[in-house]
């Protein structure tokens, strides 16, 4: 992935309705002129997997299925009606993109209403835990003759990429991420047979190994697998998915092409592994050329917020997921799926939730990784615009302005907390979650961000030598002794730990437990004064109870996993402790629903002040240093900051939105915060 002068990648995900097969250049130039830039890559969303399944060379007059010509076969957008494209015309479009040095990627889903190939191969469809067959295919299955779908798909995909001249393959919905979670499928005779053969587990007496024609028997067998052999079922799928990815990467790279993959349904690495059997570490190790983080917070705000914990906007969940994902994939490039609009799915964040979209862009571009260098690097390299076919010139200009604002700065200091975690610990976190249903790191980070804790970076324990400021670790008892020793040796700022009480480490300057909970968490801190942390307040638990470690998991990725309860009072006290430890600009009035993240150089501090409330917020922000000048860089830049003192100001933040403020402080005068 090459970068521009702005050090930003800008990709487009677009269906063919975004182009014009009657124009000499297929309207490529018109699209780029309207967008105001030439993207590094364009992923053509062709949706129908029959584009790959039935490919047998290019016939100049052979028409493509309707859902290859527009996602979901929708008949028109604001620019044009859906056109009937031929194979020759698609080849011409790919050639035109490549002529302009734009990498052309192909992407298809696992199913579509117009997919007829699956009707002749129903054995490749998912078999759900209810015994029903789904509409989509599961790519780890075998045909009736014993050959694998994997062999067939890879062979066909390579032919497609060669014949059309695609530069890369974008592995998307149904392939990565898989369509169904492991608790819901696939429980076919084929997959259960593969599982038993790979693990040497045997079915209990009286449970049939061949029962696809009896839904009740399939359901009983599925329940046994998920309840009695959950860890083995997850591990089996993780190995199978990793092998599939390695095969794709090896053969696509051998053909001189590239491969990128979506992350899994907006999830962090632990939930990705637990719910879908995808080990994101193995995908990175396989040599993927990049990941696309599914993180459409603004888009999902417009269609419902079922995944949110305690009603928090989803942006905090996706920020936490991006940090943890980057910790697992390391230096493999990570873009994020910038969900802008989708006619087929009937949402438009640009027009229905612009403040949410602005907040998403500026927050996702302001998360950092410490990787052993003295200057932190951004977690994400830029946006993949989804979908790019129906945007007005003014809308593109608005997006470009926000991308420039988010990516142009190169800070050398971070005013907040660094989350320390190791990709080496993921398996232990998985085992712990299966056993205890204790809150995982992602949910803790999600809720603490929503309560104002400025967590804006991630680091591996091995890279702590370059980290400046406070660090936070969730469940340190799952770390190796060597990594825990590195954490406790941190001398460049306070150390905060949240864990089970039995794992608490002695001699902390501050420590407290979540009193009254059946399996309480505890918080411990080093290098923070106890006087800075308010006492715990009484508050109900803020999680779906899951006293049964084998509680039923939801089938939809939009719904949160059941976990042990954690009280809101404990979380608020943890957030207060993290805010105090960060020693960063903080909100001293109007804090509810407000998050402040700061970066900067020696004297100029950039603050991202976001607001979860539906109405405007006017927080008072204490800098702790005398302010020389300040200005708003986002909307309403003409309005001056309202100075409350020589070290504090207040500013307007729109509902569910964000305000960016640059503050210059004086060198000679410093006040305690």
- Let me know the angle formed at the C-alpha of 47 by 14 and 128, rounded to the nearest 5 degrees: 135
Q: How far is the C-alpha of 325 from the C-alpha of 293, rounded, in Å?
A: 8
As a whole number, the mean pLDDT across the chain is: 93
DSSP calls for 591-645: -TTEEEEEEESSSEEEEEEEE-SSS-B--EEE-SEEEEEEEE-SS-TTSPPEESS
Are 264 and 556 in contact by the 8 Å Cβ rule? The answer is no
> What pLDDT was estimated at residue 138?
98
Q: And the tokens for 327?
A: 């910790």
| Structural domains of the chain, with CATH | 11-116+143-184+239-411 (3.20.20.80), 417-584 (no CATH), 588-670 (2.60.40.1180)
670 has a pLDDT exceeding 50 = no
pLDDT of residue 305: 61
Residue 505 has a pLDDT of: 66
Mean pLDDT, to the nearest integer, of 230-250? 98
For residue 539, pLDDT beyond 80: no
- Least confident stretch, 3-17, 202-216, 509-523: 3-17
Q: Quick check: 475 pLDDT over 50? A: yes
Q: Which residue has the higher pLDDT, 561 or 549?
A: 561
What confidence tier does 4 reach under pLDDT thresholds 50, 70, 90? very low
- Please tell me the predicted confidence (pLDDT) of residue 669: 47
pLDDT for residue 673: 37
**CA torsion angle 300 303 309 312 (round to 10):** 70
**Predicted confidence (pLDDT) per residue in 386-429, tens digit:** 999 999 999 999 999 999 999 988 899 999 999 999 999 999 99
Residue 535 has pLDDT above 60, yes or no: no
**pLDDT (average), residues 622-629:** 95
Angle at 55 between CA 52 and CA 58, to 5 degrees: 130
Mean pLDDT of 444-472: 97
Cα gap 126→178, rounded to integer Å = 11
pLDDT of residue 671: 44
pLDDT for 537 beyond 50: no
**Do 232 and 249 contact (CB within 8 A), yes or no?**
no
Confidence at residue 358, expressed as pLDDT on a 0 to 100 scale: 97
The model's pTM is: 0.96
Q: Are 310 and 450 in contact (CB under 8 A)?
A: yes
Please list, residue by residue across 604-613, b when 16 or more beta carbons sit within 10 angstroms of its beta carbon and e when fewer do: bbbbbbbbbb
> How much of the chain exceeds pLDDT 70, in percent?
94
What are 251-261's pLDDT values in tens digits?
A: 999 999 999 99
Asked if the model's pLDDT at residue 479 lies above 50, the reply is yes
In angstroms, what CA-CA distances link 185 with 148, 175, 180, 191, 294? Answer: 18, 14, 6, 9, 22
Per-residue pLDDT band at 158 (split at 50, 70, 90): very high
Instruction: Grade residue 534 by pLDDT with cuts at 50, 70 and 90.
Output: low
Element (H, E) at 47: strand 41-47
Separation CA 471–CA 493 (nearest Å): 7
Task: Give me the pLDDT at residue 602, please.
Answer: 75
Mean pLDDT of 20-29: 98
Mean pLDDT, residues 348-356: 95
- Using alpha carbons, select from 382, 357, 385, 355 the residue that is nearest to residue 297: 357
Q: Are 602 and 477 in contact (CB under 8 A)?
A: no
- Whether the per-residue pLDDT at 543 is higher than 60: the answer is no
What's the confidence (pLDDT) of residue 275? 98
CA distances to 392, 598, 659 from 399, rounded to whole Å, are 11, 22, 16
């Amino acid at each position: 992935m090459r970068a521009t002068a702005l050090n930003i990648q800008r990709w487009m995900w677009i269906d063919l309705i975004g182009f014009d097969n009657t124009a000499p250049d297929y309207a490529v130039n018109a699209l780029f002129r309207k967008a105001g830039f030439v993207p590094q890559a364009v992923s053509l969303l062709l949706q129908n997997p029959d584009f790959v399944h039935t490919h047998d060379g290019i016939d100049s007059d052979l028409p493509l299925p309707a859902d290859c010509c527009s996602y979901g076969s929708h008949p028109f957008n604001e620019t044009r009606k859906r056109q009937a494209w031929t194979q020759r015309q698609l080849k011409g479009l790919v050639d035109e993109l490549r002529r302009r040095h734009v990498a052309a990627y192909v992407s298809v889903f696992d199913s579509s209403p117009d997919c007829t190939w699956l009707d002749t191969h129903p054995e490749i469809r998912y078999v759900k835990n209810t015994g029903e067959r789904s509409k989509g295919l599961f790519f780890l299955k075998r045909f009736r003759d014993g050959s694998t779908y994997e062999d067939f798909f890879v062979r066909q995909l390579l032919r497609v990429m060669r014949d059309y001249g695609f530069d890369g393959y974008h592995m998307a919905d149904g392939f990565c991420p898989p369509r169904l979670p492991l608790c819901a499928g696939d429980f076919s005779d084929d997959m259960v047979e593969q599982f038993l053969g790979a693990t040497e587990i045997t079915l209990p007496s009286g449970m049939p190994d061949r029962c696809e024609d009896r839904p009740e028997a399939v359901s009983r067998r599925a329940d046994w697998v998920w309840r009695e052999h959950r860890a083995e079922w997850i591990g089996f799928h993780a190995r199978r998915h990793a092998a599939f990815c390695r095969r794709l990467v090896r053969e696509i790279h051998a053909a001189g092409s590239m491969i990128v993959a979506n992350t899994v349904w907006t999830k962090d690495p632990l939930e990705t592994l637990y719910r879908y059997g995808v080990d994101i570490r193995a995908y990175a190790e396989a040599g993927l050329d990049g990941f696309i983080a599914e993180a459409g917070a603004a888009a999902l705000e417009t269609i419902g917020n079922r995944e949110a914990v305690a009603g928090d906007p989803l942006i905090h969940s996706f920020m936490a997921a991006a940090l943890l994902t980057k910790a697992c994939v390391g230096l493999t490039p990570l873009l994020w799926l910038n969900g802008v609009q989708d006619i087929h799915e009937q949402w438009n964040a640009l027009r229905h939730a612009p403040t949410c979209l602005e907040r998403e862009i500026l927050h996702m571009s302001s998360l950092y990784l410490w990787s052993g260098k003295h200057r932190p690097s951004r977690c994400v390299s830029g946006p993949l615009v989804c979908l790019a076919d129906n945007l007005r010139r003014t809308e593109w200009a608005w997006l470009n302005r926000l991308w420039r604002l988010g990516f142009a700065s190169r800070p050398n200091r971070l005013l907040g907390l660094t989350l320390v975690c190791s990709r080496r610990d993921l398996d232990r976190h998985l085992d712990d979650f299966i056993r205890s249903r204790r809150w995982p790191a992602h949910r803790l980070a999600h809720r603490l961000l929503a309560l104002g804790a400025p967590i804006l970076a991630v680091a591996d324990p091995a890279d702590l030598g370059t980290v400046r400021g406070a660090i936070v670790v969730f469940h340190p008892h799952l770390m190796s002794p060597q990594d825990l020793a590195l954490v406790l040796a941190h001398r460049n700022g306070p150390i905060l730990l949240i864990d089970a009480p039995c794992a608490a480490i002695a001699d902390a300057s501050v420590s407290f437990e979540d009193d009254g909970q059946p399996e309480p968490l505890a918080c411990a801190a080093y290098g923070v004064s106890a006087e800075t942390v308010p006492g715990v307040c009484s508050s109900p638990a803020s999680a779906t109870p899951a006293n049964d470690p084998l509680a039923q998991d939801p089938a939809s990725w939009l719904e949160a996993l059941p976990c042990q309860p954690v009280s809101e009072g404990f979380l608020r006290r943890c957030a207060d402790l993290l805010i105090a430890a960060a020693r960063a600009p903080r909100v001293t009035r109007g804090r509810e629903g407000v998050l402040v993240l700061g970066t900067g150089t020696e004297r100029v501090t950039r603050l991202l002040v976001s607001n979860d409330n539906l109405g405007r917020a006017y927080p008072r922000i204490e800098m702790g240093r005398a302010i020389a000048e300040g200005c708003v860089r986002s909307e309403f830049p003409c309005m001056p900051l309202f100075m409350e003192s020589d070290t504090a100001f207040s500013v307007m933040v729109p509902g569910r939105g964000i305000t960016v403020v640059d503050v210059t402080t004086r060198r000679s005068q410093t006040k305690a915060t």
